[in-house]
Amino acid sequence: MTEKKNNFGWLLILGLVAIYLVEVAALQGWKLWKDATSPAEPNSNQHIVISIVPGSCFSDVASELKKDGLIKSTLAFRILATLKGDLNKIQAGEYNLSPSMPPSTILNILTRGKIFEHVIIIPEGYNIFQIARLLAHAGLVSRKKFLALCHDKPFLQSLGLKENCAEGYLFPDTYYFAKGVSAKEIISTMVNTFWHVWHKEKFDKRAKELGLTVHEVVTLASMVEKEAVLPRERPIIASVFWNRLKKHMLLQSDPTVYYGLWTISIWRRGRLHIWDLRRDTPYNTYIHKGLPPGPIANPGIGSIRAVLYPAHTDYLYFVSRNNGSHCFSRTLAEHNRAVYKYQIEKQRPPIRHKKGKKTTAHTVKKDNGSANATKQNKSVQAK
């Protein structure tokens, strides 16, 4: 009888232990299930960009996610991946994740390769040097490598370009590039966008009607892009350049001088100096007649259209009104009066007489007859 009682006692203890273990296992399983299905921080607005390098194992990835607060448990994440058959499917790349995402969503993003793409906005009028700096700042490509490829003639020929440089053909637009993208892919995408727009807008047909090459159109369009502030003035500015070309006049455009300085690694900020206008670079249209040897920036669709469909005017000069607009003139005398009105008179400091009456000095510095004078925002003239 005593022996039966002892056996019953042991069975009871074992039963209680078993029940306890089952409860512990159930609680642990419930916790793992919760960790595997619930966001680390449901109400978080934070976004974290993580980078998974090629060859990373699942444990390393899970540990990184846990460290960044994106998942609660590496074990739960591993179990989830095992059950879904995704343990060996995580792809390398950059990912934009949030603690508010459920682990299943994070796993889906990592295994489907939904990599984070950098938004790269190329403004109208940016040149290759500025684009290279922008891309390098975003951590996408080396500035030096990008610029080298912009002058790689065999590569450019593969993109349908006959020129020695990609300047002018990196179409201004909004692009999406993932980390790891090559400089070749970036340049190819931008040049292909240019060709798409060129043919879609039937610019090729219009250029043929005018007897112009693509290079001539893009070169002049880049000058219009750098000179114009207001879109409505682009066709008028284009007409000024066309009129001067027909009369075999020097174009005398400041942006070409700036670009010439860029090509010899002189980074001028603000106003040009008088000696800059005399510096003999191939792009200096104060010295060399006709168009510069190539584009000085990457023009947008508006400036290309302005060159192909210029306004019908007999203007030969323009000067900034210092508000984004320009005053256009037909003769040098008109232009000099405009320069005095909008530049010299406005910028000259007032003279105070003995009685306190303010007036303005009347000495006029005669303009040299250039196409433009004192361009606001994009270029500033020093006449």
Domain residue extents for the chain: 33-112, 119-200, 228-373
Tell me, what's the pLDDT at 40? 82
Report the DSSP pairing between strands 358-360 and 350-352. Answer: antiparallel
pLDDT above 60 (res 239): yes
Q: What is the pLDDT of residues 357-379, one digit of tens each?
A: 443 333 333 444 567 754 433 33
Tell me, what's the pLDDT at 226? 96
Q: How far apart are CA 180 and CA 305, in angstroms?
A: 35
pLDDT above 60 (res 354): no
Average the pLDDT over 263-279 and give the result: 77
Q: Which CATH number fits domain 33-112: 3.30.1490.480, 3.90.650.10, 1.25.40.10, 3.30.420.40?
A: 3.30.1490.480
Q: How far apart are CA 90 and CA 303, in angstroms?
A: 46
Q: How far is CA 351 from CA 273, 280, 360, 364, in A?
A: 26, 39, 6, 15
Q: Please report how many Cα atoms fall inside a 13 Å half-sphere around the Cα of residue 313, on the Cβ side.
A: 22
Pick 228 or 275 by higher pLDDT. Answer: 228
Mean pLDDT of the chain: 84
User: Would you say 243 and 251 are in contact if contact means Cβ atoms under 8 Å apart?
Assistant: no
Average the pLDDT over 89-97 and give the result: 89
Tell me, what's the pLDDT at 36? 64
Q: What is the pLDDT of residues 192-204, one digit of tens each?
A: 999 999 999 999 9
Could you tell me which of 93, 117, 110, 94 has the C-alpha nearest to residue 48?
94
Average the pLDDT over 10-27 and give the result: 54
Least confident of 140-149, 209-218, 342-351: 342-351
Percent of the chain predicted with pLDDT > 90:
52
Pick 188 or 117 by higher pLDDT. Answer: 188
pTM of the entire predicted model: 0.77
Range list of β-strands (E), 54-190: 93-97, 117-121, 174-178
Which pLDDT band, with edges at 50, 70 and 90, does 30 fall under?
low
Which pLDDT band, with edges at 50, 70 and 90, does 116 fall under?
confident
Q: What is the pLDDT of residues 221-231, one digit of tens each?
A: 999 999 999 99
